[in-house]
Amino acid sequence: FIVILSRFANLDKKMMDFSESRNAYRSFEVSKNFFSPEIIYEKGLYGQALTIFSSLYLKTFGSSEFAIRAFIIFFSLLIFVALFLLRNYYDFSFLLTLAIMLLISPSMTYFSRSFKPDLFVLSLFSLLLLFLIKYLKNNKSSSLIFCFILAGLMFTTKADSIFLLFILSSFFLYLFL
């Protein structure tokens, strides 16, 4: 409840900055002509995954500053859902400490209230970790397939996500070699 309240409080009072408004405008334009073949990748913007998902969201729920930021808040809540789903694998006090640190983190609060791809990538990364841990514990191939899908969505959202996956893979290489 605190997570939802801290993210939605005065959400529409903050002005959009340049990159937010540029991404929101692109999503709004794509949402108007979603099935048009003229949807082209623009080099100045971030990857297409964020644009496609947000334009589908805008097409469904309407377009406003509140709506576009609520889209990102939904993905910030996915991080806490992923932590909750890890409760069978890790100690509850560890997960609670991690959740409190994420809740009071100024950068998490900023990025979870702004329409920027950073939090979208972080939520995909937390879900990737969840499915990777499930795969390592249960050895189900469906979890590994979800890992690859989430990694692909991360790559098509922001180019910097390759560094997150490099750090994660080097950690697992160190752990298992």
Distances 172 to 13, 127, 134, 161, 169 between C-alpha atoms, Å: 43, 17, 14, 17, 5
Residues in the chain: 177
pLDDT recorded at residue 39: 60
Q: Where are the alpha helices (DSSP H) in 90-140?
A: 92-104, 106-112, 117-138
DSSP state letter for 12 = G
Is residue 3 classed as helix, strand or coil in its secondary structure?
Answer: helix
pLDDT of residue 50: 81
pLDDT in tens, the chain (177 residues): 666 666 666 666 677 777 777 777 778 887 787 666 566 556 555 677 888 888 888 888 887 777 888 888 888 888 889 999 989 888 899 999 988 888 888 778 777 777 788 888 888 999 998 999 899 888 899 999 999 999 999 888 887 888 888 888 888 788 776
Identity (one letter) of the amino acid at 149? I
For 29, residues 6+ apart whose C-beta sits below 8 A from its C-beta are none
> In angstroms, rounded to a whole number, what is the distance separating the alpha carbons of residues 18 and 7?
21
Give the separation between CA 54 and CA 127, rounded to whole angstroms. 18
**What's the rounded Cα separation, in Å, for the pair 166 and 162?**
6
Residues 108/80, Cβ–Cβ less than 8 Å: no
- pTM summary value: 0.81
What's residue 149's pLDDT?
94
Residue 175: predicted pLDDT: 75
Structure tokens at 43: 């080099």
* DSSP 8-state assignment for residue 62: -
pLDDT value for 127: 92
Q: Dig out the tokens for 173 from the structure.
A: 């290489």
